Amino acid sequence: MILVVSFLVFLMLVGAVAASIFRDLISAVIAAALVSLIASILFYFLQAPDVAMAEASIGAALTAAIFIIAIRRTKRYEE
Amino acid sequence: MGFLNSYIYYIGAFGLILIGLYIILVKRNLIKVIVGLGILDTGVNLFLISVGYITKGTAPIFSRTGIDSEDMVDPVPQALVLTAIVIGVAVLALALSLAIRLYQHYGTLNLRKIREQKW
Amino acid sequence: MVNPVLLIAVPLGLAFAIPLFALFWKAAVKYIPPAALAFNLVISLLLLPKVLENPVIVSIGDWQPPFCINLVAGPVGVLFSAIIALVGLLVSIYALDYIKEGPTEKYHMLYLLLLTGATGVVLTGDIFNLFVFFEILCISSYALVAYLRERSGIESAVKYLIQGAVGSSLLLIGIGLLYGQFGTLNMADIAEKIASASPISLFVPMVLIITGLGVEAAIFPLNAWLPDAHSSAPSSISAILSGIAIEVGLYAVARVIFTIFGAQSFLPFLALLGILTLLVGEMCAFSQNNIKRMLAYSSIGQIGLILFALAIATSYGVTGGLFQLVSHALSKALLFLTAGYMIYRAGSMEISSLEGVGKKMPLTCLAFTIGAFSLVGLPPFIGFPSKFLVVQAALATQEAIFFVLIGLALLGTVIEAAYFFRVVQVLYFKGQRPNPGRKEAPIIALVPMFILTILIIVIGIYPRLITGVLNSAASELLNRVEYIRSVLG
Amino acid sequence: MRRIVSILLLIIVAVGISLSLAKIPFGTPKTKVGRHYIDEGVKETGSANIVTSVVVSYRGFDTLGEVTVLFIAAIGLGAVLTANGREKMRKTEPASLVLYTGCRLLFPLILIFGTYIFIHGHLTPGGGFQGGAIIASGFLLIYLGCRERRISRIASNLAESLGGLLFVVIGLLGLAFGSYFLSNFLPKGTANTLFSAGIIPIIYIAIGFKVGSELAGIIDNLIEES
């Protein structure tokens, strides 16, 4: 169990670093959504199913969607 | 192993908080900064939930009779985080709409180039 | 028995109802904020005599504190909610005519919600609830700064939003640390338990919380957003941001330091920060050519003085700080309201372009002059007794550090006088253009200016009108044992 | 330069927080208020899900503030993005038949699922926010798949406004009947049945409608070309 959690935390931090490195903003947003998704799994492990649902639906799905809509209306690549 | 057992969630939460702050402080692109705000929010939420956790606890829901209420994790941080998630998405949405307008006015999202006014 | 929860629930309900009104009767929308705020003013004034004897504590839900959220309507809370309702009412009357462009019903909704959030912050007795209302206040001000959708407005809203969002995340981390240590969120309950905790574990949450609140309160290193945001918002919003929002932020800082942490050793540092804020603000204001930026920097200076007075932490000092806060709220609101129409008629925000406006709109300029003199601290206006009280309080401490700091504060006042007199001189004595065609501000905008002027003069001559309330408010802030006892019973 | 200063700042933050974390060991029970909610929550509110009873009942005022924050964001976003002049909507390619039909088939199912989530908020995990977000994601699907379809702005404003008003009015009714704002004045029933917990399901339904329409409105405003 603890190994699974450690692996997920590692993956989450890698996702966050990737979100900071990617110059393609769409990729950065996907990486941030991955962070949210793993966080929601961690919430489930921490016995917070309500929060896990909210994070998965609001934090991962809707936030990524509005980010992508906004990027479509501005510019895709970081200068 | 004991170290991981007791600190892994805190490490994850504060890792996210520090990475989020780093993105906000260093990156130039406004959308990137907003992504950083989102990561910072996620980290704060993870920290709040970890504060309320009890080892080998169960979710605070009496879905069937005979659940031992001694082992239930603290419901208060979960309620706080539900609030914080919604507030976070509200701020992100407003920030993105401002970013769209900013791009229409300046044709760029680079915060270092947008310096009409002095700080 | 008037329940203080009405101060929050009724404006909130009316704000939610505005979209319905907009469907059926669009012309009525702009009268809803004045109506709601007039209601709040009446309720606050009704509550005032009662809370001077005993603070009114009401719970939300059927439980007793600390198991539910409670509102604490003590002298401080009711004093602040009365000021918020008064200034908000006057500014909303002004806005009836001033706001004509753009999605006006959205403006009125956001405006009402901003003031509801401010009322919630000053009344609540629960630290997470304070965070939520603080977010209401901040988010509606981000949107209102960008209301005109110009380049500068959007840009400063973005800066404001990023700094504010980081600040509120820090605030939330601080609240989480406090909850982890004490297992409760009620401010009185935390304050009761805090004596048993070790100082080092309290220091970090305190710094995080004060940093988070300090962004909105514009304490020195955290106020980069303020001049931009205040100068590019519509003038009615600048008046509210300068007259209400920063003050509410300062209230939250004072409440956290005095009531929750009771941090006596932290106060000299805060006094130093206050004087730094004051000097930075006044010096930047002196070098401005844009009148709204000048007023915004002068707000920073005034905030510094209030923070300094609160940090003296004697009954005198806190009373002086609160008095200065009231005086700043009234005077700065007046200044921004008058400046709004002066800019509108002159067509530019540059001070040099205001030449001769004094002859064109004599009433508005007279009101501006009175506001400026009051802010500088000339008798017989409200700024005089308040500044006098602050100086007296600093001298009464008999400590060398406060003597030095109040000397610096007086230096700041001299700078302040210099730039305000320069503006007044431009208004009246410069530019002999031969076009004295009179064009006053509309009557509905003159009414709130007139009421503010009257208040400034009357309280300036009879400061006893409010010193009683201020005194008991100061003793509520300083006496945390009494606060804990009245909430927890 | 900026990077070095930022990293120094971050190190200070990290050290400070880890110092204070020593007082908050992970995994040990350390709460007082939460214990009370677990022990008494079912008896006092009638809701089997303690998180729901905390969100809606014990800390209902926070929740009122929170839906207000979302309301402000939706309005502010509308105010910022309102078109200055009349500009035309961008022409977009119609979606393929498979996508179109799939979206139309899925949409009612998603709506039903969201409604289920918020009606059962006091029994199972989930509630107004989660259900509202699911409903909003259904509308997102419609925007992506069937581009010519739009929800009527009036209907969404109405849902938003009535949801908020219902919340405040229930609170004021509690003040009238139970002498506390948001007092639970309806009979609480037996826990773990659908019709229990008094005002909690009603408030969660109001929140569900409000959150769903607000999030859908946010997406609608962002997607529309201005």
Q: Chain A residue closest to D120 (CA)?
A: A50
pLDDT score recorded for residue D225: 59
pLDDT score recorded for residue D226: 45
pLDDT range class, residue C370, cuts 50, 70, 90: very high
CB-CB contact of A54 with D130 (8 Å): yes
Contacts of B30 in chain C (CB under 8 A): 158
CA distances from D85 to B101, D88, D226 (A): 14, 10, 9
Find where tokens 């998704």 sit: A37
Q: Summarize pLDDT for C227-239 with one digit per residue, the tens.
A: 888 888 899 999 9
Q: Which of D12, D13, D20 to mutate to test the interface with C (most CBs of C within 10 A)?
A: D20
| Average pLDDT across chain A, whole number | 90
CB atoms under 10 Å from CB of C461, counted, come to: 15
3-class SS shares of chain B: helix, strand, coil, % to 5: 70, 5, 25
Residue (of C213, B99, B119, C149) closest to D80 by Cα position: C149
Q: Which of B76, B87, B97, B111 to mutate to test the interface with C (most CBs of C within 10 A)?
A: B87
- Residue C192, Ramachandran bin (φ over 0: left; ψ between -120 and 50: alpha; else beta): alpha
Q: Is the pLDDT of residue D37 over 60?
A: yes
Partner-chain residue, chosen from C69, C142, C181, that has the shortest CB–CB distance to D76: C142
Q: Is the pLDDT of residue D84 over 70?
A: no
For residue C73, give the H/E element and its range. strand C70-73
Task: Say which residue, D181 or C483, is predicted with more confidence.
Answer: C483
pLDDT score recorded for residue A9: 92
pLDDT score recorded for residue D85: 47
Q: Chain C residue closest to B118 (CA)?
A: C228
Q: Is the pLDDT of residue B118 over 60?
A: no
Partner-chain residue, chosen from B46, B58, B86, that has the shortest CB–CB distance to A58: B86
| Average pLDDT across chain C, whole number | 89
D127 touches chain A (CB under 8 A): yes
pLDDT score recorded for residue C432: 63
CB-CB contact of C340 with C409 (8 Å): no
Q: What is the average per-residue pLDDT within A71-78?
A: 86
Find where tokens 């004509």 sit: C100
User: Do the chains contact at B85 and A2, CB–CB below 8 Å?
Assistant: no
Beta bridge partners of C57: C72
Structure-token pair, residue D76:
């502010």
| Partner chains of B (3+ C-beta pairs under 8 Å) | A, C, D
Query: For residue C126, which phi and psi values (nearest 5 degrees)?
Result: -135, 135
CB-CB contact of D210 with C88 (8 Å): no
Q: Is the pLDDT of residue D43 over 80?
A: no
CB-CB contact of C249 with C214 (8 Å): yes
Tell me how far apart the 2 most distant CA atoms of chain D are, in Å. 64
Contacts of D51 (CB under 8 A, 6+ apart): A48, A50, B60, B61, B75, B78, B79, B82, D125
For the question of whether the overall pTM of this predicted structure is more than 0.90, the answer is yes
pLDDT range class, residue D90, cuts 50, 70, 90: low
Least confident of A75-79, B74-78, D193-197: D193-197
Q: Summarize pLDDT for B57-105 with one digit per residue, the tens.
A: 788 887 776 677 777 888 889 999 999 999 999 999 999 999 998 898 8
CA separation for the pair D111, C114 (Å, rounded):
33
Task: Say which residue, C162 or D149, is predicted with more confidence.
Answer: C162
Structure-token pair, residue A5:
């959690």
Q: Is the pLDDT of residue C181 over 90?
A: no
Q: Summarize pLDDT for C325-351 with one digit per residue, the tens.
A: 999 999 999 999 999 888 888 888 888
CA separation for the pair C173, D180 (Å, rounded):
31
User: What's domain B2-54+73-106's architecture?
Assistant: Orthogonal Bundle (1.10)
D118 touches chain A (CB under 8 A): no
Q: How far is B119 from chain D (nearest CA, A)?
A: 16
Q: What is the average per-residue pLDDT within C255-259?
A: 90
| Average pLDDT across chain B, whole number | 85
Q: Summarize pLDDT for C56-79 with one digit per residue, the tens.
A: 888 887 788 788 888 889 899 999
User: How many pairs of residues across A and D have Cβ atoms under 8 Å apart?
Assistant: 45
Do A and C touch, 3+ Cβ pairs within 8 Å? The answer is no
CA separation for the pair D131, C414 (Å, rounded):
60
- Residue C324, Ramachandran bin (φ over 0: left; ψ between -120 and 50: alpha; else beta): alpha
Domain ranges, ordered by start, for chain B: 2-54+73-106
Helical packing angle, B2-26 and B30-52, nearest 10°:
150
Find where tokens 């931090």 sit: A13
Partner-chain residue, chosen from D32, D78, D182, that has the shortest CB–CB distance to C103: D78
DSSP assignment, residue C63? S
Query: For residue B58, which phi and psi values (nearest 5 degrees)?
Result: -120, 165
Q: Is the pLDDT of residue C202 over 70?
A: yes
CA separation for the pair C373, C388 (Å, rounded):
14
Least confident of A58-62, C87-91, D1-5: D1-5
Residue (of B41, D18, B7, B73) closest to A6 by Cα position: B7
Q: What is the average per-residue pLDDT within C286-305?
A: 90
- Provide the percentage of residues in chain C whose pLDDT is more than 70: 98
Residue (of C238, C233, C308, C237) closest to C277 by Cα position: C308
pLDDT range class, residue C173, cuts 50, 70, 90: very high
User: Do the chains contact at C154 and B33, CB–CB below 8 Å?
Assistant: no
Do B and D touch, 3+ Cβ pairs within 8 Å? The answer is yes
Q: Judging by beta carbons within 10 Å of its beta carbon (0-12, 13-18, 19+), is residue D17 exposed, middle or buried?
A: buried
Helical packing angle, C127-145 and D60-81, nearest 10°:
10
Q: Is the pLDDT of residue C434 over 60?
A: no
pLDDT score recorded for residue D86: 46
A65 touches chain D (CB under 8 A): yes
pLDDT score recorded for residue D148: 63
Partner-chain residue, chosen from C19, C103, C136, that has the shortest CB–CB distance to D161: C19
Q: Chain D residue closest to B9 (CA)?
A: D26
Q: Is the pLDDT of residue B43 over 90?
A: yes
CB atoms under 10 Å from CB of C60, counted, come to: 30
| Average pLDDT across chain D, whole number | 81
pLDDT score recorded for residue A63: 92
CB-CB contact of C297 with C285 (8 Å): yes
Contacts of C301 (CB under 8 A, 6+ apart): C277, C278, C279, C280, C281, C282, C285, C412, C416
